[in-house]
Amino acid sequence: MGIPIPITKEDLEGVSGEAGLRPFPFSSNGKWTQHTAQVTGIEIFEGDRTDFLVIRGRNGEYGVRVSVQLDPEFVANDYGQDTSKQRERNKDRLIKALAAFDLATIKGNNVELEPSRFPKAVGKIFAFSIQGAIENNAPKLNERGYQRTNISFKGATSGLLPVVVPDCAANTGTAASCATNASISVDYVDDDIPF
C-alpha cells in the first residue's frame, strides 16, 4: 500500500529524476572562454517583463542555456548605459539566433518566429562564449552564491570541439549545481527564467 504525499500528478509529470549536466567551464576573472555545443532543445519562455527564446545545448557532460529576448526594445537592467546600443545588441542577438537555426519565416515585411521549426534545430552545433561576471574587481554572485555568468551566442558552426578548461577556471561545481541551476545573462540577468 502506498503512502499518500502532498503533491499532485501534475507536479510529478514532466520532471526528470536525472542529475543534469555540469556548467561549461569559464574563467572567473572576467575573460571570455569559447565553447561549442549541440542543440538539445529550443523553447519559448514567457517571462514577467519580456519573452525569451531559450536554446539548450550540450557537449559531453556539460550543458548550457542561451536565452535571447524576443523583444529587442526591452532593456532588462537599465544602469545608465546607452540603451540604443543595448537595443541594437538585442536585435543582433535575436537575428543571429533566428538565422543560425532557421527559425523564422517572412510574411510581407514582417518576420514571424516559427515554433514548428524548433525540432529541426535539435542536433545542430553552435558556438558561444562564456564569462564569469565581475563587479568592482570581484566575482558577481547570484542568490545561491555562485558566480553569475555572461553568455554570448556566436552562431552556428560546423563541428563540435572538445571542452577546454581555461586557466583561472571557476569552480563549476557538481551536477547538483549544474547548468540547469546557473544564472545566465548577456548584458542582462534572466534569473526569472527557470532551466
Residue given cell 568592482 in the structure block: 136
- Dump pLDDT digits (tens) for 126-169: 999 999 988 888 888 888 888 888 899 999 999 999 999 987 77
Stated pTM of the model: 0.74
CB neighbourhood size of 84 (10 A)? 9
153 contacts 92 by C-beta, under 8 angstroms: no
Q: pLDDT of the chain along its 195 residues, tens only? A: 667 778 888 877 766 666 678 899 998 888 899 999 999 999 999 988 899 999 999 999 999 999 999 999 998 776 667 889 989 999 999 999 999 999 999 999 999 999 999 999 999 999 999 999 888 888 888 888 888 888 999 999 999 999 999 877 765 543 333 333 333 333 333 333 333
Which residues is 24 bridged to in the sheet? none
Alpha carbon distance 183, 151 (integer Å): 10
Per-residue b or e along 2-31, where b marks 16 or more CB atoms closer than 10 Å to that residue's CB:
eeeeeeeeeeeeeeeeeebbbbbbbbbebe
Map residue 181 onto helix, strand or coil: helix
8-state DSSP, 116:
G
End-to-end CA distance of the chain: 35
Half-sphere exposure of 86 (CA within 13 A, CB side): 16
55 contacts 153 by C-beta, under 8 angstroms: yes
